Chain A
Amino acid sequence: MKSQIKRGVSLYSFQEEMFLGQMSIEDCVAFAASIGARGIEILPEQNMPTFPNIDEAQIDWWKGLMAKYGTELTCYDMFLDSKIRKDRLMTDEEQVNSIVRDLRLCNRLGIRNMRILVFVRPEILGQCVPFAEELDVHMGVEVHAPWHIEHAWILRTIEEADRRGTRHLGILPDMGIFMKHYPPVYRARFERQGARPEVAQFIVDQHEQKVMAEYTIYEVAVKMQGNKAEIAMAETLRHSPYSNPKRIREYIPYFRHIQAKFYEMNADCTDPSIAYDEVVRELAAGGWDGYLSSEYEGNRWIQDVYEVDSREQVRRQHKMFERLIAAGQAAP
């Protein structure tokens, strides 16, 4: 069977260069197109300086940009400022209104997937379903570490979607949930901050053995009298899960887009940390046909000592995707 998995890029990947004014949005899109990544995921609150006031000329600009490079907008990353006021949380009605505002803008941009922040309550999303259906936008709750696909909080969204019998509410997996090996860029930065190599190695070994985070944190903080960097490194284990790639296939009906999180690619275009080989195999076998949308997040781990080159990192990840998607096609 020929795999229909597609390759895309989130503009999140180029945050370092965009923040520093070294890359424009058009530069990012042109680069994506140059490596055959045809799907562009956007963060309007990052990429549209006048947000939430977007006029038709701006909408036309985005559509024209996609036409120019032969790309398409794949996903709209929403935010919800439920704490916009200092004195109280947004009411439920205000939260729904904010999400509907985003659904409308998403629709105007011609985008059919919206990344919903994982903290948004399922019952709020349930109230947004009629609008999502009318505007034909799939609301995918971001399954972001330390949550995982079968976390009880995520299952509440699945239940809400089932209860309403809708295909416009579901999930949007972030591949950070499949952290099989501890990222070398994490370790290196903690060592630069003063973590002793032997303590860093202990933490990496504990992660490799999938020891529950709290055991390791106690070992490092109390028994080993860890310093600040060592304790901080141990605490990253709370957010570094390896969930079972074999479970993703069953949830294919609930997601249409994937945020392909990564922290660093090896020079040989393999990922030292996230189990993409296992996950893409499952997606291909399950006939999933959405976009793997690159989400490079390594800049914050290396910018203290290295020049960040997001393009090279994304290029390497797409070499890996090409290889893994082709391997999925060859499978029976």
Chain B
Amino acid sequence: MFDKYLIVDKSLRNTGPTNAPAGFAFEAKLGYYRGLGLSMIEDLAISIDGEPVARSAIRFDEGPGAITLDQMETAFDRRWAFGAPAVISVEHPGGLTPGWHSLSLTERLRVSYLPFPALNSTSKSLEII
């Protein structure tokens, strides 16, 4: 219902030392009309310039601190609030080259009243800031 708005504009940046970036990060919102506990975020699938990123290389932080997607599965006391950007970071030695990159994100949610997983998907071209 909010697919086109999932990735926050102008949020893509490299992480770590400027001369030796450890990866990249961007901000994203939950594509749902309410907030959701992190344990129900089953997966955040990311591709950068067409290349899928390993699940283990992804970290998520809605505020209290970055955790892995596996750790999110039991983070029962944390929530991704409605409309609130979270920082998603990716281990990607060397970071991204200056300029524009194609970023894809698919959020797979376990919504209790739906018989199937909810999927929110988007692709966006962003410039490294």
A interface residues, Cβ below 8 angstroms from B: 12, 15, 18-21, 43, 45-47, 49, 51, 79-86, 117-119, 299-300, 303-304
In the complex, which residues of chain A have a beta carbon less than 8 angstroms from the beta carbon of B39?
84-86
Q: Which residue of B lies closest to A43 (CB)?
A: B34
Our pick among B2, B4, B5, B82 for the contact of A45 (Cβ within 8 Å) is B82
Number of A-B contacts (CB under 8 A): 63
Q: Are B5 and A81 in contact (CB under 8 A)?
A: no
Q: Are B5 and A19 in contact (CB under 8 A)?
A: yes
Q: Are A300 and B83 in contact (CB under 8 A)?
A: no
B interface residues, Cβ below 8 angstroms from A: 1-2, 4-5, 29, 33-37, 39-40, 42, 73, 76, 79, 81-84, 110-113
> Interface of chain A, helix or strand or loop or mixed?
loop
Query: A79 and B112 in contact (CB under 8 A), knowing A15-B33, A84-B76, A85-B39?
Result: yes
Q: Are B1 and A81 in contact (CB under 8 A)?
A: no
Q: Are A18 and B110 in contact (CB under 8 A)?
A: no
Q: Are A84 and B37 in contact (CB under 8 A)?
A: yes
Most chain B C-beta atoms within 10 Å of own C-beta, residue among A12, A20, A81, A117: A81
Our pick among B33, B40, B81 for the contact of A83 (Cβ within 8 Å) is B40
Q: Are B34 and A81 in contact (CB under 8 A)?
A: no
Q: How far is the CA of A82 from the CA of B42 in the complex (A)?
A: 15
Our pick among A46, A51, A84, A303 for the contact of B33 (Cβ within 8 Å) is A46
Q: How far is the CA of A18 from the CA of B82 in the complex (A)?
A: 9
Q: Are B1 and A46 in contact (CB under 8 A)?
A: no
Q: Which residue of A lies closest to B110 (CB)?
A: A83
Query: A83 and B73 in contact (CB under 8 A), knowing A19-B5, A19-B83, A45-B34?
Result: no
Q: Are B73 and A46 in contact (CB under 8 A)?
A: no
In the complex, which residues of chain B have a beta carbon less than 8 angstroms from the beta carbon of A300?
1-2
Our pick among B1, B37, B82, B112 for the contact of A119 (Cβ within 8 Å) is B112
In the complex, which residues of chain B have a beta carbon less than 8 angstroms from the beta carbon of A19?
2, 5, 29, 33, 82-83
Our pick among A84, A118, A119, A303 for the contact of B4 (Cβ within 8 Å) is A303
Q: Are A21 and B83 in contact (CB under 8 A)?
A: yes
Q: How far is the CA of A300 from the CA of B35 in the complex (A)?
A: 18
Q: Which residue of B lies closest to A119 (CB)?
A: B113
